[in-house]
Amino acid sequence: MSGAADVARTEPTAAERVRSVLVRAVSLSLTTEGRVYDLIGVHSVDGKGRISLHPPAGSPLAAQIATAPRGSLAALLEFTDVTAVRARDRVRARVTLSGWLTPRDPGGDGDAVRLDAARVTLRTAAGGWDVGLDEVMLAEPDPLAVDEAGMLTHLSDAHEDMVAELVMLAAPRLPPGILRTTPFALDRHGITLRCEYRQGHCDLRFPFPVAVRDAAEAGEQVRRLLMAPQCAHHFTAHG
């Protein structure tokens, strides 16, 4: 992607959001024929966003896969993206993949299975979209995806003053009566704050002037926002 495109972009693409959710997920919900599994720490994601499961030998899931007709098991995987900080309505996105689970290494140990995905869906507060499999494979996860939880927690715990100053930049356009503001999301294109009211909430999005490459650059861009009173921002109201 060109530098000019990075400057123009203010939000991750749907495919990038999918990849970011997958790379930081530690758990998932798996629905198969007649069974629902809540799995923690048993999946991996490769460099192209392809998912493998590693069920323990002798587990109900391993047994179900081993006895599946024609060697594959229809499956639906759901990943829930939740902000790391305390906030109203913490779920930011849900990623659903449907397809078939098949042995990853036929003739091997028989435990690892791969998901041959047929459909990928992204759902956020703004709506839901089908995301092309090729788009997901070609996209890259956000460079802050793995570090985001720690960065948001640090901002919330140690830099309440910075968060308050950012809100002040947008104050003329915000509805009055904010009870609490929390850093809600952070990616290479900008930072999102959640402003909570007695009824409902709204999200404030501050795009960075340029896309960042790591946590250090993200911190620097947040500080630059505070020195630019006319910086761009927009808010989205929620019920």
| Chain segment 216-233, per-residue pLDDT in tens | 999 999 999 888 766 666
Exposed/middle/buried for 164, CB within 10 Å: 0-12, 13-18, 19+?
exposed
Q: What is the mean pLDDT of residues 155-159?
A: 95
Residues 55 and 65 sit within 8 Å (Cβ to Cβ): yes
CA atoms of 208 and 157, how far apart (whole Å)? 22
Task: For the chain, give every domain's residue range.
Answer: 3-138, 148-238
Three-state helix/strand/coil letters over 190-209: EEEEEEECCCCEEEEEEECC
Average pLDDT, the chain: 90
Equal CATH topology for 3-138 and 148-238: no
Q: What is the pLDDT of residue 230?
A: 61
Which CATH number is associated with domain 148-238?
3.20.180.10
Q: What is the pTM of this model?
A: 0.90
- Residues whose CB is less than 8 angstroms from the CB of residue 120 and which lie 6 or more positions away in sequence, other chains included: 18, 95, 96, 97, 130, 131, 132, 133, 136
pLDDT band at 7 (very low <50, low <70, confident <90, very high): very low
Tell me the helices (H) and strands (E) count for the chain, helix number first: 7, 12
CA distances (Å), 172 to each of 89, 106, 144, in order?
A: 25, 62, 30
Q: What is the pLDDT of residue 104?
A: 75
Task: Summarize pLDDT for 90-127 with one digit per residue, the tens.
Answer: 999 999 999 999 987 655 555 789 999 999 999 999 89
Q: What is the pLDDT of residue 171?
A: 84
Lowest pLDDT segment from 4-13, 23-32, 35-44: 4-13
Four-point Cα dihedral 38, 100, 121, 214, nearest 10: 70
pLDDT band at 235 (very low <50, low <70, confident <90, very high): low
Give the H/E segment covering residue 230: none
CA atoms of 138 and 50, how far apart (whole Å)? 11
Which CATH number is associated with domain 3-138?
2.30.110.10
Residues 146 and 23 sit within 8 Å (Cβ to Cβ): yes
Lowest pLDDT segment from 147-161, 201-215, 223-237: 223-237
> Is the confidence at residue 3, as pLDDT, over 50?
no
Give the H/E segment covering residue 181: strand 180-187
Radius of gyration of the chain (CA): 20
